[in-house]
């Protein structure tokens, strides 16, 4: 025992240094763990402020589905989400990259603490970040400019470059905090987005998308979209035509994955293009449609340099089989410039189809408008 005490007295300074190092290391570890829990809790709070009680989101971006779809999938909310900007009427303050959201009471029900702010039809609710940047408060007037939805993505080369937004003069009805869903956003960020909330029906009418939305939020389990999804939700439409039916889209082009989903034995692909002029010698017909298709719309033996024209165009150009027909059309050039090109084709003949009317068969021209048919490999290029 005496030897142990003597040893402790002799090495006291060494033991004290070791003890101090252990204490400091333990304090650092405990602090790091506490800090980690605080950061994790902060990030969780930010995430809940962004998404509220949302557990499922369908973001269609530049695609639009029927907003009534949310009524078939409770608890769900349909939102019209558009990019835009906001400014004070005198341009003393301005905010770019604003998230403009058309919402209704179903959207506010998804907040962590559901509450519906005052929402007259021609008003706007701002989140705290946007209100601070515009120096606006309830009762003030601001200008909101929303990007108009387009049948084509704004990034597409052939999308329009003019008249792409709608300006709205609105009264601020309320400013909502982050805890009241003002921080809503699907992008993870520690910076609060700039949100402007408008009544859903009002925004739909102003941008020409009545009854349409591009964001679906749900607080329940993943909804069974297959059971409620319709062709209208994908921008497609079936139409009855002589001899069968056709699948059309208001987006100009049908996506390749939709084409692939159609039964191969029951589909015929058609590409229609608008041309500036059809000319046969000195005679010409302006602004007509050209359709590229396969059998049975065009004969299987049709060559790539042949076309079939309808009776109306043949009479207008006084064209006959064997004539050379010139097509003049635009193609997209550099910096979105339209370059005019011309191709020549040999007239093969006039198309006719059979369709049943009562108990008799009649023969008729495919269309009464100026139209020609090309082999599928010859889609205007």
Residue 183: per-residue pLDDT: 93
More confident residue, 163 or 278: 278
Least confident window among 175-184, 235-244, 277-286, 300-309: 235-244
pLDDT at 364 over 50: no
Residue range 225-236: average pLDDT?
Answer: 86
**Residue 63 binned pLDDT confidence (cut-offs 50, 70, 90):** confident
pLDDT at 262 over 90: no
**Residue 271 binned pLDDT confidence (cut-offs 50, 70, 90):** confident
More confident residue, 140 or 28: 140
The fraction of the chain above a pLDDT of 90, given in percent, is: 41
The tens digit of pLDDT for each residue in 321-337 reads 999 999 999 887 777 77
pLDDT at 159 over 80: no
Residue 42: per-residue pLDDT: 67
Residue 179: per-residue pLDDT: 85
Q: DSSP string covering 219-280, please?
A: SSSPP-HHHH--GGGGTEEEEEETTEEEEEETTSS--HHHHHHS-GGG---EEEEEEEEEEE
pLDDT at 145 over 90: yes
d(CA 367, CA 297): 13
Q: Which residues pair with 275 in a beta bridge?
A: 288
Least confident window among 157-161, 257-261, 294-298: 157-161
d(CA 86, CA 146): 9
**Residue 360 binned pLDDT confidence (cut-offs 50, 70, 90):** very low
pLDDT at 173 over 80: yes
More confident residue, 224 or 278: 278
Residue 152: per-residue pLDDT: 63
Residue 353: per-residue pLDDT: 42
The tens digit of pLDDT for each residue in 79-127 reads 999 999 999 999 999 999 999 999 999 999 999 888 888 888 889 999 9
The tens digit of pLDDT for each residue in 369-381 reads 445 656 544 444 4
The full set of domain ranges for the chain reads 2-50, 56-224, 268-378
CB-hemisphere CA count at 13 Å for 123? 16
**Residue 368 binned pLDDT confidence (cut-offs 50, 70, 90):** very low
> 300, 301, 250, 279: which is closest to 372 by C-alpha?
279
Q: Enter the tokens of residue 165.
A: 């937004």
How many other CB atoms are found less than 10 A from the CB of residue 360?
A: 6
Query: Positive or negative, the Cα torsion across 130, 135, 141, 144?
Result: negative
**Residue 187 binned pLDDT confidence (cut-offs 50, 70, 90):** confident
Residue 161: per-residue pLDDT: 60
Most confident of 143-152, 260-269, 283-292: 283-292
**Residue 57 binned pLDDT confidence (cut-offs 50, 70, 90):** very high
Q: Identify the three-state secondary structure at position 65.
A: strand
Average pLDDT, the chain: 82
pLDDT at 151 over 90: no
pLDDT at 185 over 70: yes
Residue 293: per-residue pLDDT: 84
More confident residue, 67 or 352: 67
């Amino acid at each position: 025992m005496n030897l142990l005490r003597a040893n402790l007295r002799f090495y006291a300074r060494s033991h004290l240094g070791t003890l101090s190092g252990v204490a400091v290391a333990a304090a650092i570890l405990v602090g790091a763990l506490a800090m980690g829990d605080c950061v994790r809790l902060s990030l969780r709070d930010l995430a809940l402020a962004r998404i509220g009680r949302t557990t499922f989101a369908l973001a269609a971006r530049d695609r639009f589905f029927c907003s009534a779809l949310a009524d078939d999938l409770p608890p769900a909310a349909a939102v019209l989400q558009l990019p835009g900007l906001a400014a004070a009427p005198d341009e003393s303050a301005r905010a770019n990259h604003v998230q403009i959201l058309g919402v209704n009471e179903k959207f506010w029900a998804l907040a962590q603490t559901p509450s519906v702010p005052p929402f007259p039809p021609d008003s706007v609710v701002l989140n705290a970040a946007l209100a601070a940047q515009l120096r606006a408060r309830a009762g003030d007037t601001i200008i909101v400019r929303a990007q108009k939805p387009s049948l084509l993505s704004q990034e597409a080369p052939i999308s329009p470059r003019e008249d792409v937004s709608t300006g709205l003069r609105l009264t601020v009805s309320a400013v909502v905090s982050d805890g009241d869903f003002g921080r809503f956003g699907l992008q993870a960020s520690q910076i609060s987005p700039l949100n402007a909330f408008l009544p859903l029906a009002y925004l739909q009418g102003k941008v020409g998308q009545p009854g349409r939305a591009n964001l679906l939020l749900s607080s329940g389990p993943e909804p069974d979209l297959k059971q409620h999804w319709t062709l209208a939700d994908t921008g497609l439409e079936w139409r009855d035509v002589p001899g069968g039916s056709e699948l059309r889209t208001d987006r100009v082009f049908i996506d390749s994955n939709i084409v692939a989903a159609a039964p191969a034995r029951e589909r015929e692909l058609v590409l229609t293009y608008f041309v500036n002029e059809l000319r046969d010698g000195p005679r010409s017909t302006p602004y007509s449609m050209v359709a590229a298709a396969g059998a049975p719309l065009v004969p299987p033996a049709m060559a790539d340099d042949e076309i079939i024209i309808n009776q109306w165009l043949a009479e207008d150009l006084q064209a006959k089989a064997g004539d050379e027909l010139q097509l003049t059309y635009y193609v997209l050039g550099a910096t979105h410039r339209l370059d005019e090109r011309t191709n020549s084709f040999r007239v093969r003949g006039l198309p006719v189809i059979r369709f049943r009317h009562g108990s008799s068969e009649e023969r008729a021209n495919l269309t009464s408008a100026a139209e020609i048919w090309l082999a599928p490999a010859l889609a205007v290029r």
